[in-house]
Amino acid sequence: MSTGVMNALTVDSPVRRRGRWLANIILVVLGVVFVVPIAWIVLSSVNPAATVSMSVPSGVTFDNFAQVLTFNQSFLPLWNSAIISFGTAALTVVVGILAAYPLSRFNMRFQRGFLYSVLFGSCLPITALMVPVYAMFVQLKLLDSLLGVVLFMAATSLPMAIWMLKNFMDSVPVSLEEAAWVDGASPMRALAQIVLPLMRPGIGVVFIFVFTQAWGNFFVPFVLLFTAEKMPASVAIFQFFGNHGAVAYGQLAAFAMVYSVPILVLYLLMQRLTGSSFALAGGVKG
C-alpha cells in the first residue's frame, strides 16, 4: 500500500476524527470561559444600568468613564501602580542580570546547589512570608512606604527572573565575549555592550512578566500600605464595592478598561523595541 493511501486512511479514521472534534469542543469551551468576562466588562462599561449579569445595553453611554476618570479615583491609583510596577520590574531586571551573568558564564563550586535554592525560593508562597516580612518592615520603618513595597516585590520576583535571564543568557555565544576580551574589554563592558543587546527580547519578556505580576498584585500593597493616597489601582478598585453589598458595576467595568490600557501599551512597546535583536546572534558563523 502506498504512503499516500495510508496517510489518507489515517487522517480519515473515526478515532482521529472524534479526537479532533473533542479537541475543538474543549478549545471552544475554554475560549468562551475567557471571552465572557471580557465581554461583560466591555458591555457594562457603556451600560447606564449595568448589573452583575451580562446584557446588551439599550443605549450606549460614557457616563461611567466620566465618573471614573478623576484624579482620586483613577489617576492617583494608576500613578501609584506605575511607580510600584516600574520600580519592581527595573530593580528585578538589573539585579537579575548581575546575578545571572556569573551563573551563565562561570563554573562555580556551589552553582548547582545555588540554582536549586533559587528554584525553591520561587516556589514559596508570598502569604507564607508576610508575617516575618511585616515584623522586619516594622523594625526598618518601611511600612506604608512605596519603596518598601517595591523592595519586597522585587525580592520575591528575583528567583524566577534569575532563572529566566540565565536561560536567555546561555543562548548568547560566549565566543563574542571572548573576542571582546581579546580586544581589552572588561567582563562588565562585554556584558553591557555584547550580551545585553543580544538578549534584549529576553530582558523584555522578564520585564513584562515582572511588571504584570506587580501591576495586578493585590495582597502585598493591601498589607504593607495604609494611606489611601498611596494605594495602587489593584487595591483602589475596592472603592466601587460599597457597603451592604452595593456594587457600582458600570463604574467598576469602566475602571477595569482604564486599568488594562497601560499593560496593552507596554506589550506593544516591548514588541516594537525587542523585535529584531536576535538577528545579531548570526555574527559568530563563518
Say what the pLDDT of residue 113 is: 81
- The answer to whether residues 233 and 263 touch, using CB atoms and an 8 Å cutoff, is no
Cell digits for 153? 516585590
Backbone φ and ψ for 218, nearest 5 degrees, come out as -100, -40
Cell digits for 236? 483602589
pLDDT per residue of the chain (286 residues) written in tens, 0 to 9: 455 555 555 556 777 888 889 999 999 999 999 899 999 999 998 988 888 888 888 888 899 899 889 998 889 999 999 999 999 999 999 999 999 998 888 887 777 888 788 777 777 777 778 888 888 899 988 899 999 999 999 999 998 899 899 989 988 888 888 888 888 888 888 888 888 988 888 898 899 999 999 999 999 999 999 998 999 999 988 878 766 667 888 888 999 999 989 888 888 887 776 655 544 444 444 4
pTM, rounded to two decimals: 0.81
Structural Rg of the chain based on CA atoms: 25
Please give the full DSSP string across the chain, using - where no structure is assigned. --HHHHHHHHHT-HHHHHHHHHHHHHHHHHHHHHHHHHHHHHHHHT-TT--SS----SS---HHHHHH-SIIIIIHHHHHHHHHHHHHHHHHHHHHHHHHHHHHH---TTHHHHHHHHHHHHHS-HHHHHHHHHHHHHHHT-TT-HHHHHHHHHHHHHHHHHHHHHHHHHTS-HHHHHHHHHTT--HHHHIIIIIHHHTHHHHHHHHHHHHHHHHT--HHHHHH---GGG--HHHHGGGGB-GGG-B-HHHHHHHHHHHHHHHHHHHHHHHHHSTTGGGGGGGG--
Q: How many other CB atoms sit within 10 Å of the CB of residue 211?
A: 25
Say what the pLDDT of residue 13 is: 76
Q: How many whole angstroms separate alpha carbon 45 and alpha carbon 239?
A: 16
Say what the pLDDT of residue 107 is: 81
Cell digits for 83? 511607580
